[in-house]
């Protein structure tokens, strides 16, 4: 498995965790009326989504390298 593939999978998992944490933070801030925390929660959620997207690209790049390596054999 290419290094990019494993990095991509890791980024997807970490990104998903950030997205969940941001969603929880946003919801908790909504209940308490804390706008500053709500914005931080939305930002964390978006950061998680971006990290997941980066992870998907890394994973695909790793798979492509693996395919190319097998074709050269």
Nearest to 41 by CA among 20, 56, 68: 20
Q: How confident is the model at residue 1 (pLDDT cuts 50, 70, 90)?
A: low
Which domain does 7 fall in, by range? Answer: 3-71
What domain count does the chain have? 1
Q: What is each CA distance from 72 to 22, 66, 68, in whole angstroms?
A: 44, 10, 6
Cα(3)–Cα(36) distance, integer angstroms: 38
Q: What is the pLDDT of residue 69?
A: 79
Per-residue pLDDT of 20-56, as tens digits, reads 999 999 999 999 999 999 999 999 999 999 999 999 9
């Amino acid at each position: 498995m290419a290094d990019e593939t494993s990095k991509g999978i890791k980024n997807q998992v970490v990104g998903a965790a950030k997205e969940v944490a941001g969603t929880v933070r946003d919801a908790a801030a909504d209940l308490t009326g804390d706008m500053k925390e709500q914005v931080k929660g939305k930002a964390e959620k978006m950061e998680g989504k971006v990290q997941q997207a980066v992870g998907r690209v890394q994973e695909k790049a790793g798979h492509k390298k693996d395919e190319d390596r097998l074709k050269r054999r």
